[in-house]
Structure 1
């Protein structure tokens, strides 16, 4: 998400987007956290297999959501300064 794209969005829509992205980020991070716990117990029981590595593939998605959330937050903060 480009910073210029965020400047074209109204403040109200940006606040709604921030709220939605925040909720989605926490849900996704929680699911990946649960996946890590399950894969740890699976690893202890049966060793390394594909399900043990599965949470590692979702980490980039969590990071992308985190950085998008941070960009939206910065844009909202810059609008409050004006």
Structure 2
């Protein structure tokens, strides 16, 4: 996996990455919320299964994306 330092990116690249990450993060959060809701329904109807931990396992990805958004925002503010 390629790791990039936000300080080495141009302002245009940062803005583009910020917009893309916001969209992806929003869609991912909505899908994750739907998974949580569906899992609650499935637990009540059929009981607990191993698949019920999937939304919990995907939650760190959402937090990592949010932290990257904060870092991009800090970098953009430092350049103004």
Q: Same fold judged by TM-score > 0.5?
A: yes
- Partner residue, 2:9: 9
State the Cα RMSD in Å: 1.2
Which runs of 4 or more aligned residues in structure 1 lie more than 2 Å from their structure 2 counterparts after TM superposition?
Answer: none
- Partner residue, 1:24: 24
- Partner residue, 1:49: 49
Which structure's residues are more often helix, by fraction?
A: 1
- Give the TM-score normalised by the residue count of structure 1: 0.88
CA–CA separation in structure 1 for the residues paired with 2:52 and 2:40: 7
CA–CA separation in structure 1 for the residues paired with 2:45 and 2:51: 12
Higher mean C-alpha deviation, range 47-56 or range 30-39: 47-56
> How many pairs align?
78
Q: Tell me by how many angstroms 1:47 deviates.
A: 1.2
**1:55-74 equivalences in 2 (<5 Å):** 55-74=55-74
Q: Tell me by how many angstroms 1:51 deviates.
A: 2.2
